[in-house]
Amino acid sequence: MAAPKKASKKKVKRHVTSGRAFIHASYNNTIVTITDADGNPVTWSSGGVIGYKGSRKGTPYAAQLAAMDAAKKAQSFGMTSVDVVVRGTGAGREQAIRALQASGIQVRSIVDDTPTPHNGCRPRKKFRKIA
């Protein structure tokens, strides 16, 4: 005897009008994550998602393509404006912001939140010469 089929709920697509875009720009890659106002991720993209491998992921052009890809996905959710938070010192920082602006999403603010060490690591112990 076959079990009766359960009626599954239809997946409702979220409609998000504004949010935040986090750009993590390292020397090896650039990751763009777009979230809603609460910080829940809506979409993301990176140099590797675009199709680049190795050192090409860290280029400004790969960052531009990643930001445009994430923006296009976010616009399908109804995203119109973002606050940008940039972290890291990679080559794709500026290019990713420019790509977000060019994609049609309004950039309301840009904040640099790069982590910096306050006093650094503890130095090595002092070398003692043996006489």
pLDDT for 69-127, tens place per residue?
999 999 999 999 999 999 999 999 999 999 999 999 999 999 999 988 888 889 899 99
Distance CA 114, CA 20 (A): 16
Here the tokens at position 66 are 């990643």
Kindly report, residue by residue over 6-36, the tens digit of the pLDDT: 777 877 777 889 999 999 999 999 999 999 9
Here the tokens at position 48 are 């590797």
CA 46 to centroid of chain Cα atoms: 7
Domains of the chain: 18-116 (3.30.420.80)
Strands 81-87 and 106-112 come out as parallel
**Of residues 21, 27, 69, the one with CA closest to residue 46:** 69
What value does the mean pLDDT take over residues 34-55?
95
User: What pLDDT does residue 58 have?
Assistant: 94
Using the predicted structure, report yes or no on whether residue 1 has a pLDDT greater than 70: no
User: What pLDDT does residue 3 have?
Assistant: 73
Please compute Rg for the chain using Cα positions. Answer: 21
DSSP code of 35? E
User: What pLDDT does residue 16 have?
Assistant: 87
Helix (H) / strand (E) element for 109: namely strand 106-112
